[in-house]
Amino acid sequence: MFKTNVKRIIKSGFFGFFRNGFVSLSSVLVMVITLSVIASVIFMSAILNSSLEEIRNKVDVNVYFFTTAQESDILALKKSIEKLPEVKQVEYVSAKEELENFKTRHENDQFTLQALDELSENPLGAKLNIKAKEPHQYEGIAAFLTGENIISRNGQSIVDNVNFPRNKTAIDKLSKIISSAQKLGFFFTLLLIIVSILITFNTIRLVIFISRDEISVMRLVGASALYIRGPFVVSGVLYGVLSGIFTLIIFYPLAIFFGSNFPSSDFDIGFNVLDYYISNFAQTFLIVMGSGIFIGAVSSYLAVKRYLKI
């Protein structure tokens, strides 16, 4: 008996959805806009996180040494730094390698290269490139490098300069921008969800008004409250399901377009929208469809509870 009632409720919900086609379509279109924003926030968050991760990989702390620093002292300091729990990787660049890198960077600047050739010795010292496990850990590494525990010769530190402050400012600014963008996206999404619930709420209210004669007959023949209210909730869930399907269909060609146009030679973060859409389709599907069903079910339930007194 219960299964029979459930089947009848679902069937009535489908019938009511298609019978009130224009009203249903308006709710679906509004929910498609809302779900599109939710999907856009997912993609934008992925792009922003990918951008931040790419910049994190390029950011490091460079420790420059005086030309008088002995290689044995620098390598000893390198071992001490590698023991720090915050450190992910330490790369040693000798003074000779640093000079070759400098010449490569300025290969078109003949004046600078001629000035270097006139010098009797290498003016550049060795350096260490240090990468932390997390961006916020660079401050602790920088504190270690400027502390009293640094190896010194004749009472003078072998470290000439640590470039942490400049990099810290850049990554802190980027982190704040990304955080603000994510908060704005969340607020905008929440606002549209509320609007969608209100519109679907009023749509179900209108459907209830249109079906008032049918509801009166059902009351007279003794239909249960569940049997009367159920079809309206089913219709609300259908709004969400169709909205989710349309949103996913719309985003596929958009993902193809941006997938081939987003990466560029000027700003390539190695993120492909189409690849992300395909590889994370299951997660995107669950979020979009789940959000649509939730909005449709909640708004329908609130409407029948508020306006359908049985």
Same domain, 75 and 224: no
Same domain, 190 and 267: yes
Same domain, 194 and 302: yes
The reply to whether 174 falls in a domain is no
Nearest to 37 by CA among 171, 155, 196: 196
The reply to whether 166 falls in a domain is no
Same domain, 294 and 218: yes
The reply to whether 169 falls in a domain is no
Q: What per-residue string of b and e applies to 22-38 under the rule 16 or more CB within 10 Å gives b?
A: ebbebbbebbbebbbbb
Per-residue pLDDT for 21 more than 80?
Answer: no
Which DSSP letter does residue 156 get?
Answer: E
Nearest to 87 by CA among 67, 63, 64, 70: 63
The answer to which of 24-28, 83-87, 132-136, 175-179 has the lowest mean pLDDT is 175-179
The reply to whether 138 falls in a domain is yes
Same domain, 146 and 85: yes
Are 62 and 129 a contacting pair, CB within 8 Å?
Answer: yes
Same domain, 198 and 296: yes
Which of 170 and 294 is assigned the larger pLDDT?
294
- The model's pTM is 0.62
Looking at 157, 189, 218, the residue that finishes a domain is 157
Looking at the structure of the chain, the number of domains it has is: 2
Same domain, 195 and 278: yes
The reply to whether 275 falls in a domain is yes
Kindly report, residue by residue over 96-151, the tens digit of the pLDDT. Answer: 888 888 778 777 777 777 777 777 777 888 889 888 887 778 878 888 877 665 66
**pLDDT for residue 261:** 55
**pLDDT for residue 29:** 85
Which of 84 and 264 is assigned the larger pLDDT?
84
Looking at 122, 157, 192, the residue that finishes a domain is 157
Same domain, 207 and 281: yes
Q: How far apart are CA 97 and CA 129, in angstroms?
A: 13
Taking the alpha carbons of 110, 114, 117, 120 in that order, is the dihedral positive or negative? negative
All residues at 6 or more sequence positions from 173 whose CB lies less than 8 Å from its CB, including other chains: none
Looking at 96, 122, 157, the residue that finishes a domain is 157
Q: Is residue 309 very low, low, confident or very high in pLDDT (cuts 50, 70, 90)?
A: low
Q: How far apart are CA 61 and CA 166, in angstroms?
A: 10
The reply to whether 62 falls in a domain is no
Same domain, 99 and 123: yes
Same domain, 138 and 249: no
The reply to whether 143 falls in a domain is yes
Structural domain of residue 126, as residue ranges? 67-157
All residues at 6 or more sequence positions from 121 whose CB lies less than 8 Å from its CB, including other chains: 67
Same domain, 234 and 85: no
The reply to whether 173 falls in a domain is no
Same domain, 279 and 135: no
CATH number at 146 reads 3.30.70.3040
Q: What is the largest CA-CA distance in the chain?
A: 107
Q: How far apart are CA 297 and CA 13, in angstroms?
A: 12
* CA distances, 99 to each of 63, 76, 106 (Å): 15, 22, 11
Look up residue 277 and give its amino acid: Y
Q: Is residue 264 very low, low, confident or very high in pLDDT (cuts 50, 70, 90)?
A: very low
